[in-house]
Amino acid sequence: MAENLLSRMRQEAKEIFKASVRRVDPYEAVKNFVRLEKEVLSVGPANRDGIELNLERFERILVVGGGKATAPMAKALEDVLGSRVERGLINVKYGFSEPLSRIEVQEAGHPLPDDKGVAATKKILSLLDGAKEKDLVFSLISGGGSALLPSPAGGITLAEKQAVTKSLLDCGASIDEMNTIRKHISSSKGGQMARVAFPATTINLMLSDVVGDRMDVIASGPFVPDSGTFKDAWEIMRKYDLSVPEPVSAYVKMGLDGKAPETPKDSDPLFHKVHNFIIGSNILALKAAGNAAEAMGYTCLILSSMVEGETREVARVHTSVAKEILQTGLPLAPPACIISGGETTVTIRGKGFGGRNQEFCLAASIELAGTAERIVVLSGGTDGNDGPTPAAGAIVDSRTAARGSTLGLQALEFLKNNDSYHFFEKTGDLLITGPTKTNVMDVRLVLVR
Amino acid sequence: MAENLLSRMRQEAKEIFKASVRRVDPYEAVKNFVRLEKEVLSVGPANRDGIELNLERFERILVVGGGKATAPMAKALEDVLGSRVERGLINVKYGFSEPLSRIEVQEAGHPLPDDKGVAATKKILSLLDGAKEKDLVFSLISGGGSALLPSPAGGITLAEKQAVTKSLLDCGASIDEMNTIRKHISSSKGGQMARVAFPATTINLMLSDVVGDRMDVIASGPFVPDSGTFKDAWEIMRKYDLSVPEPVSAYVKMGLDGKAPETPKDSDPLFHKVHNFIIGSNILALKAAGNAAEAMGYTCLILSSMVEGETREVARVHTSVAKEILQTGLPLAPPACIISGGETTVTIRGKGFGGRNQEFCLAASIELAGTAERIVVLSGGTDGNDGPTPAAGAIVDSRTAARGSTLGLQALEFLKNNDSYHFFEKTGDLLITGPTKTNVMDVRLVLVR
């Protein structure tokens, strides 16, 4: 009986996860966001907060972009706009291209940028530079876009740029500090592509893979106003006594002296021509999960799309909510579904094989051992890839740890060794989806019936 | 303006915390739970789930108990029952006694039990042993009750009992395993006091200081059925190849051979004479916090009373919810109050001075830095004591980390050094209540306006 209930709940969890990933499918997201009726282009979520453009105003439509998910995004744009697309170029990771009719696809290095990426970004900048007042530019941006649109400024080489990134990581600089420096040794990041595209009208469609969905952070915001300055960059370099290659400090000094262009700020009128939209994000995936779970009779609570922290500890907070639901019906009475997203971290202490989603589930399974058999926990990467493993994550329940014990596997030992994959491979609790072509970080589900 | 809002919210947080502690005040909790009208005694939460007893049925009322909070609990009982109390004896921690009229108070060792405790527990057992069918026994139990009611079985000494506890801690035994062994080398824990009190009627009133409020865990459940056996105890000792003093293994072997009494089980008819009640607990404190916050206009969400885990990581999950509330109005639209309880842990890595509640707030203040000035976080120990510090916890907001910087204090450095007290002492963010005489673990509040 309990076995039946758990297996039904595990199936439900899988379906809810699928629904959340479907919501952020890059092709579907563009298709739903960009609609053409006669010559009127509507851009925005169905029926609200969008813009309308009469295509008769424009002579050409150009498409640029970069990121792992931009090939299906570009395909959707071609399907909507057809031959109205004049030409375009997008950069994707090796192996992530798809056949397109009018938009060129360039494969390049990710997560480490390479010369292919530099060359293609140069071509993108030149395409944008040629855009006129009567042109409409579509930009397609997704996770990985920063590495796939490399454009070191001045005479800086890729290797020198990477040396800076390494120094910043080593000195413990914050993400914001790193971004400030990176944007000020690049000729495309921090809104600089928007400046190059001016005076054309630009529509920038972003699939967000960053916690909090800050547009200036997604792919380092090539079309988004920057708030940092060369002065900030210089001060960060001084604060950490950063050792950087000579061309890097030379370029930042040029910026200080007004001899290199500052990133455009929010007040710059050029942004009147830019329309930035997030078309897919973690919170949208979570909301879709909530809708799917409600259709199955669950009451839902979306905790946060911004969950960060050490994975196993975050898992314990989630199971503590599940236990409270069972014991007192708070914060929700069962059947209840707690949903969270974001991206946690794993401090590697062992030598095992796994990913943060599987580790989350392994830690959860330990906490669930011995509780009533009415709880199921799923954690999955929306890209279908959890760490270096072939799984997207795992699905566990109150019996998982015991199932492991029966097989001679102690969950706690596998957790200590960061070896979640090998535990779940044997217990049969892996969540396997294959690559989904999208990435809006992770989705976690806690079902209680 | 924002300053005003934050200072108002900090005041609100303090008042909500106070309301939650008031709900679990030991004196008030007993007073509200035990009501006498004419000769009819009602025991239970006002108007539901309680029992009624006609005092004319009973010849004597006896009172026993142990725990840090039992003096005010006994005072309340005296105030309700007056001269109907025949006599009694309760054990409290040194410094925790209060003048009582009819019930004797014995101070004893806590957290390490001592000979005073052993002697007084012997007296309690003898008092219970003399209880007759027509006697009514009140038992008062609160946090610390296990150490304050020591009663090693057979010829086992206190030192030998402590050696077992140490071995269990060292070998990594679970809490349940530790309890099974402890109950089987004691002559009072695991329901054994109930057996001694039989055939009297017993009302056992508990103030819970354990995560999940399991009655058999609170003070090792002297009046609560036990599920473990001597066989379980023996197997746990074998599983960990536990080295224990000879009298300990001798006693457990006697139990295996039926020569020492097994702890009474749920099916034992003696429990028909026992009425166990939790009169104060973390979840009750959280609900009171919720009521107080709602009266101030906040929508409330009680996450869980069972939160455990590494404090700083738990804090990040809480702030991630606050940020989501600000950004999307999920899981609640502001003004919103997220409430959680339980007891987290701190892995000491530095040499500073602090407690888990202050560390929670310090970690939260780092995450809140730079967010809109509409978030306040409070974490406090309901006993008024956070770790070894004179504070109960702290209250922080979006400006706390910056206030520290201005004073030359970097929050992150203080967190790394587990030095929350010295940070908040300077920034003025300590929550100081003084001892509250109660303990139902911690209460955490996240206010967002």
Domain of A298, CATH number, reads 3.40.1480.10
CB contacts < 8 A (A, B): 90
CA distance B417 to chain A (A): 17
Q: Does residue A397 lie within any of the structural domains?
A: yes
Q: Does residue B101 lie within any of the structural domains?
A: yes
Q: Which residues contact B15 (CB under 8 A, 6 or more apart)?
A: B292, B296
What's the CA gap between A430 and A424, in Å, rounded? 5
A291 and A390 in a single domain? The answer is yes
Neighbour tally for B140: CB within 10 Å: 29
CA distance A230 to chain B (A): 21
- B356-375 residue pLDDT tens: 999 999 999 999 998 999 99
Q: Does residue A94 lie within any of the structural domains?
A: yes
- B151-193 residue pLDDT tens: 999 999 999 999 999 999 899 888 889 999 999 999 999 999 9
Per the CB < 8 Å rule, is A327 touching B301?
Answer: no
Q: What is the largest CA-CA distance in chain B?
A: 75
* pTM higher than the cut 0.90: yes
- A73-101 residue pLDDT tens: 999 999 999 999 999 999 999 999 999 99
For testing contact with chain B, the best of A176, A239, A313 (most B CBs within 10 A): A313
As a whole-number percent, the residues of chain A with pLDDT over 90 amount to: 96
Q: Which amino acid is at B82?
A: G
B331 and B272 in a single domain? The answer is no
Is A1 a residue whose pLDDT tops 60?
Answer: no
A305 and A435 in a single domain? The answer is yes
- A101-145 residue pLDDT tens: 999 999 999 999 999 999 999 999 999 999 999 999 999 999 999
Q: Does residue A373 lie within any of the structural domains?
A: yes
Counts for chain A of helices (H) and strands (E), in that order: 16, 15
Last residue of a domain, one of B216, B249, B280: B280
- B391-443 residue pLDDT tens: 999 999 999 999 999 999 999 999 999 999 999 999 999 999 999 999 999 99
> In the sheet where A34-37 sits, what is the strand order?
A34-37, A40-43, A51-54
Per the CB < 8 Å rule, is A302 touching B331?
Answer: yes
CA distance A304 to chain B (A): 5
What's the CA gap between B147 and B150, in Å, rounded? 6
A330 and A413 in a single domain? The answer is yes
Confidence of residue A430 (pLDDT cuts 50, 70, 90): very high
Q: Does residue B179 lie within any of the structural domains?
A: no
| Best mean pLDDT range from A164-168, A241-245, A307-311 | A307-311
Average pLDDT over residues A354-374: 96
| Cβ atoms A329, B348 nearer than 8 A | no
Question: What is chain B's mean pLDDT, rounded?
Answer: 96
User: What pLDDT is recorded for position A48?
Assistant: 74
Of B302, B316, B323, the CB nearest to A330: B302
For testing contact with chain A, the best of B317, B319, B356 (most A CBs within 10 A): B317
Q: Which amino acid is at A445?
A: L
Strand, helix or coil for residue B23: helix
Q: Does residue A240 lie within any of the structural domains?
A: no
Q: Which residue of B has its CA nearest to A176?
A: B370
Interfacial residues of B (vs A; Cβ cutoff 8 Å): 212-213, 283, 301-310, 313-314, 316-317, 320-321, 323-324, 327-328, 330-331, 342
User: What pLDDT is recorded for position A426?
Assistant: 98
Residue A121 corresponds to which tokens in the numbers above? 């970004």
CA distance B444 to chain A (A): 13
Q: Does residue B42 lie within any of the structural domains?
A: yes
Contacts of A323 in chain B (CB under 8 A): 212, 304, 306
> In the sheet where B299-307 sits, what is the strand order?
B299-307, B336-342, B442-448, B375-381, B393-397, B430-431
For testing contact with chain B, the best of A216, A330, A337, A371 (most B CBs within 10 A): A330
Query: B201: domain range?
Result: 26-151+186-228+263-280
CA distance A66 to chain B (A): 27
A92 and A213 in a single domain? The answer is yes
Q: How many domains does chain A have?
A: 2
Per the CB < 8 Å rule, is B308 touching A316?
Answer: yes
A220 and A84 in a single domain? The answer is yes
Using a 10 angstrom Cβ sphere, with 0-12 exposed, 13-18 middle and 19 or more buried, the burial of residue B299 is middle
As a whole-number percent, the residues of chain A with pLDDT over 70 amount to: 99
A88 and A59 in a single domain? The answer is yes
Question: What is chain A's mean pLDDT, rounded?
Answer: 96
| Cβ atoms B199, B273 nearer than 8 A | yes
Per the CB < 8 Å rule, is A308 touching B320?
Answer: yes
Q: Which residue of A has its CA nearest to B313?
A: A309
Q: Which amino acid is at A213?
A: D
> Of the candidates A207, A233, A241, A266, which has an alpha carbon nearest to the alpha carbon of residue A72?
A207
Q: Which residue of A has its CA nearest to B282?
A: A324
Q: What is the CATH number of the domain that holds A95?
A: 3.40.50.10180
Per the CB < 8 Å rule, is A316 touching B301?
Answer: no
CA distance A328 to chain B (A): 9
The three state secondary structure string of A210-255 is CCCCCCCCHHHCCCCCCCCCHHHHHHHHHHCCCCCCHHHHHHHHHH
For testing contact with chain A, the best of B49, B304, B347 (most A CBs within 10 A): B304
Confidence of residue B3 (pLDDT cuts 50, 70, 90): confident
A79 and A7 in a single domain? The answer is no
A79 and A110 in a single domain? The answer is yes
User: Per DSSP, what are the bridge partners of residue A274?
Assistant: A202
CA distance A317 to chain B (A): 6
B419 and B350 in a single domain? The answer is yes
User: What pLDDT is recorded for position B2?
Assistant: 67
What's the CA gap between B111 and B93, in Å, rounded? 8
User: What pLDDT is recorded for position B1?
Assistant: 55
Per the CB < 8 Å rule, is A316 touching B327?
Answer: no
Q: In the block, which residue shows the tokens 């630009």?
A: A202
- A339-358 residue pLDDT tens: 999 999 999 999 999 999 99
- Give whole-number Cα distances, B444 to B304, B356, B383, in Å: 10, 11, 14
What's the CA gap between A390 and A387, in Å, rounded? 8
B222 and B308 in a single domain? The answer is no
The conformation of residue A383, written as its DSSP 8-state character, comes to T
| Cβ atoms B138, B77 nearer than 8 A | yes
Strand, helix or coil for residue A420: helix
Confidence of residue A2 (pLDDT cuts 50, 70, 90): low
Q: Does residue A108 lie within any of the structural domains?
A: yes
B219 and B142 in a single domain? The answer is yes
Confidence of residue B264 (pLDDT cuts 50, 70, 90): very high
- Give whole-number Cα distances, A364 to A232, B188, B210, B214, in Å: 43, 35, 20, 20
- Give whole-number Cα distances, B316 to A212, A317, B324, B383, in Å: 14, 11, 12, 24
Last residue of a domain, one of A246, A280, A314: A280
